Structure 1
């Protein structure tokens, strides 16, 4: 492609092009969770609840994913450099809007618009990146670049934001995002020729009806999964309404696609067994990836580790991702059985969750978590690239773009399901353990009396009066109970995931037809909504 169309100016070396694209893609993919690394801070900044912050991420994801099939038409209509400049300017404008906004409603609207505009910038960057990888073998490297950057964006974002928030308030993140977008955008604009990456296609017969239906499917599913546990699921009319909307609109969407000559999403891809299997495997993968937030929350809430040290610990996770992505790309190129790669990746995930379930204690050395976090990175890096390649290769080459776009829905469900499961365990499992502890911690229990006396002596020795020491000891005892309930909830959740991963590994081991899928990436590239 790069030989036929002069995408970049002749004086620009290939290595500079690739680095400029990656530098542009990093803030673009980081935008997904960049402003929600400090959930409580973001909630206080806009006067909303922490779950509203989670829903803002879901809204960003939903708008990006649902607009992708429609966005391709705008991409083909406008000249590539102009489209890129417009997308970057709109992203900068929405980031500035988030900086000045102070209400939750404005924040939701801006996050929705960010998702739409982010898809356009991602599409340009991905297309430019894959223009440097023309052969089928080299496109495997392209997939590894893109999804490796995607996985690395989380620990890298944590590394950056923790240091910014240590010196400045939350508003500084919005300025930082603008500064991260501008330099690589200027560099890419100067390097690109004013050409089209695709043949111009007029903007007529845009399927807005399918877009609205598809968007409602995402939003209703996300709303039910995020707020379900807080609102007691079917006991609240809003959750019932969201579930009804999801079912009805999903049926209407599929019925509409069957009657269209040019489908919004090609539903024929679901006829292929390996495609459905691969897409479904994306759900537990994203659930396992999401569980890492429990570990980081444990570091913060139980071990009282500051965000900078947590981000330093996550460097082990980053190293695991980089190593695994590089190794697995080589394995795919050598034609290693993809089923074995899946089994190795889920085995890494199993080891991480089982190991961490034994390391959750109230006092320990941070260095004990380096190896488990490295293993989690190895698991994520081993699974994501082969899974996406497997999904895209499971359908005919002509349907690969639709397969990539339809797979977004499964990634979205996996992401939302992870948040929903964590919310469920936080509210129900912690409550169950807390009630169990409260029944044991009574005035007649010798152990609780001994613990209370220990706390009283400890605070009294620091100079507090006897009555103040008694009240302070009760506070410390309640805090100890809360810590233990949090530890038990984390252990229960991780062991539940161990059981889930074991079942998935058995299913993969008993599915020999997985190896029949041949890697076919000619003309295929990732969808921009690939978080």
Structure 2
């Protein structure tokens, strides 16, 4: 593709300048995706909402991002690039101004859906334009490294200034920071893109809007079902039951429409490739198992109660490990010096080390230094796995299927993330109750360990000036609190061990798979030689 159909003459031959400008706009756009991931407690308290509401709003944003990702390429090729991007950024600014006046959680969720569209239009355009600046053999590895790395790193980049804003002023000032970034993006767009359209205009007709609406509606049902289902005890709640029924119906409608359509959004022929399906399973395992890091972040907020800046620093350690491993993995993928097995064993091995490390060290008094190495390893695991798996998936998709492979991979990420959220939530409910019951069985006057601990706690409160009755009540509350903390620690420890066992199984399967394949193919090879 002619590199000068979008950009002004002064910059189109300056590759690094162009890449830096496009990456800056990409980062500013994606920052909005995870804007509330590290500040959700303040959002919950401001709206008087539940933590699930904030989780649902994040998933809604991702749904709209996926919803518009295939369409944004059509828009980019239809409108004048500079006017189009500036218009999208202005809409984003208006949206952030509306956010600042919003006090209702339901309106907030609706606005997050619209914000996902803005992110998709900008981030998708930037990713497409970055691809035009790369050699063909580097497009997949580098392009997806940039996009995924920016997506994960955005939580820290957004979290650092957000934490400072929250500690020093009204948390809604975050929106002003985002608006400033969007204004900077408008200035960059104005100076690097040509005034007139120099690319062939691709018409906007033949877009199957009905299929897109059905797809987005089905994904919203899935998100609602998986986020709110565990808390409502699944099918015991009528709204969850109706949501599930609607979800199944919409899925059937989408598949039926795709089969009958001449220009489907997803070409189901891609599922004929066994390696493509294998890649999807690997991607699902990766996204499902990596989320045990949320147990560490939950531990920080509920047990140690660290300050915001320490939380950000630990997340930065994780992102550093991911960035270094992702760079190494992308370089190795481009040079084609290692098979997919090398990356899987290394990446899942790092993840196994993280889970076992946390299993052995988790306690009530962990320091920041205790978590640096395991958190770094978890980031390195993500960086080592994503690019090779994504490249493996897309390399086994026919070219004539367009974005089908990327879209299916995006949906796998979406479903797996929701499944891990619901799965870990359910596991925590089960094991928390299990361990609490074990502890409570010992909270009787006949248990000497409990009696001695209770008496010591009562005396400690009396020495602080409490009377005997208040000291007894305070001691009881303190012990119950400790039971809750110990139950959560044991629950986290159990989940780390379960995930470690699954990871060890995956590594073993990856290691023996080539040998099994050779054994199964040996009779065929022997027959051919004769």
Secondary structure of the 2:77 match is helix
Question: For the Cα contact (< 8 Å) 1:433–1:485, is it kept in 2?
Answer: yes
Which consecutive unaligned segments of at least 5 residues does structure 1 have?
516-531
Secondary structure of the 1:35 match is coil
The answer to whether structure 1 residue 250 and structure 2 residue 251 are counterparts is yes
State which drifts further: 347-356 or 413-422. 413-422
Cα separation, partners in 2 of 1:122 and 1:67, compared to 1, 3 Å:
same
The CA deviation at 1:2 is: 4.6
Secondary structure of the 1:71 match is helix
The CA deviation at 1:511 is: 4.2
Hey, what does 1:457 align to over in structure 2?
459
Hey, what does 1:7 align to over in structure 2?
7
Hey, what does 1:265 align to over in structure 2?
266
Mapped partners of 2:370, 2:398: distance in 1: 47
Hey, what does 1:127 align to over in structure 2?
128
Hey, what does 1:399 align to over in structure 2?
401
The root-mean-square deviation of aligned C-alpha atoms, in Å, is 2.3
Mapped partners of 2:62, 2:89: distance in 1: 18
Larger Rg: 2
Q: What does residue range 13-32 of structure 1 map to in structure 2 within 5 Å?
A: 13-32=14-33
Deviations 1:468-518 (A, max 9, x none): 322222221111111101111211222221122223333433544999xxx
Cα separation, partners in 2 of 1:3 and 1:365, compared to 1, 3 Å:
closer
Question: For the Cα contact (< 8 Å) 1:43–1:50, is it kept in 2?
Answer: yes
State which drifts further: 319-328 or 276-285. 276-285
Hey, what does 2:283 align to over in structure 1?
282
Deviations 1:448-477 (A, max 9, x none): 222222222323333333333222222211
Question: For the Cα contact (< 8 Å) 2:288–2:420, is it kept in 1?
Answer: yes
Hey, what does 1:523 align to over in structure 2?
none
Hey, what does 2:181 align to over in structure 1?
180
The CA deviation at 1:230 is: 0.9
Question: For the Cα contact (< 8 Å) 1:229–1:424, is it kept in 2?
Answer: yes
Hey, what does 1:498 align to over in structure 2?
500
Hey, what does 2:227 align to over in structure 1?
226
Higher normalized contact order (CA 8 Å, seq sep 6+, divided by chain length): 1
Mapped partners of 1:396, 1:204: distance in 2: 24
Mapped partners of 2:450, 2:406: distance in 1: 57
Q: What does residue range 314-463 of structure 1 map to in structure 2 within 5 Å?
A: 314-335=315-336, 336-463=338-465
Question: For the Cα contact (< 8 Å) 1:80–1:124, is it kept in 2?
Answer: no
Cα separation, partners in 2 of 1:251 and 1:197, compared to 1, 3 Å:
farther
Mapped partners of 2:199, 2:442: distance in 1: 69
Q: What does residue range 108-147 of structure 1 map to in structure 2 within 5 Å?
A: 108-137=109-138, 140-147=141-148
The CA deviation at 1:11 is: 4.5
The answer to whether structure 1 residue 86 and structure 2 residue 87 are counterparts is yes
The CA deviation at 1:196 is: 5.0
- The normalised TM-score by structure 2 is 0.92
Mapped partners of 2:460, 2:90: distance in 1: 58
Question: For the Cα contact (< 8 Å) 1:393–1:400, is it kept in 2?
Answer: no
Cα separation, partners in 2 of 1:8 and 1:423, compared to 1, 3 Å:
farther
Mapped partners of 1:126, 1:180: distance in 2: 18
Question: For the Cα contact (< 8 Å) 1:96–1:174, is it kept in 2?
Answer: yes
The CA deviation at 1:306 is: 1.5
The answer to whether structure 1 residue 171 and structure 2 residue 172 are counterparts is yes
Hey, what does 2:520 align to over in structure 1?
none
Which of residues 476, 479, 487 is equivalent to 2:478?
A: 476
The answer to whether structure 1 residue 304 and structure 2 residue 305 are counterparts is yes
Hey, what does 1:528 align to over in structure 2?
none
Question: For the Cα contact (< 8 Å) 1:265–1:402, is it kept in 2?
Answer: yes
Deviations 1:247-267 (A, max 9, x none): 222122111111111112222
Task: Give the number of aligned pairs.
Answer: 516
The answer to whether structure 1 residue 154 and structure 2 residue 155 are counterparts is yes
Cα separation, partners in 2 of 1:199 and 1:446, compared to 1, 3 Å:
farther
